Structure 1
């Protein structure tokens, strides 16, 4: 089963690394997948200037976000 959360990211993006770290700090290890937008043409077209973006179904959380905003967003989308 695929994780419900997707973090759109790319290699060498320090903001993406910060977002992933927030997810891990929130105890979400194993509950999200990281998709490199370079490997996904549609994701690249949509997110190339917006990464990192966290997505769950049709809900998206755009950077910048902190732990508190992440927690609130997760409660809203689950």
Structure 2
């Protein structure tokens, strides 16, 4: 699995991102909660939610919609 959604606990934007990913037909991804991880908080604290392709290193910062997700997946050569 190479898609990761970085998020926080009790994050309404993260909940919205999950809805967008579902409506975009995003393939399976891992949810990583950054709370309590100093390195992840430093990198993603002000940016969450962030969708990352761990293979390419490409990241899609919030806000995004289904079209942006589709473009991100196409750029990463991932099927929807």
Q: TM-score normalised by the shorter chain: which range applies?
A: 0.7 to 0.9
Matched with 1:7 is: 5
The TM-score with structure 1 as length reference comes to 0.86
Tell me, yes or no, if the aligned pair for 2:24 and 2:67 is still in contact at 8 Å: no
Deviation of residue 23 (structure 1)? 1.2
Residues matched between the structures, number: 75
Distance in 2 between residues matched to 1:5 and 1:43, nearest whole Å: 16
Give 4+ residue runs of structure 1 displaced > 3 Å after superposition: none
Distance in 1 between residues matched to 2:15 and 2:38, nearest whole Å: 21
More helix by share: 1
Matched with 1:64 is: 63
The TM-score with structure 2 as length reference comes to 0.84
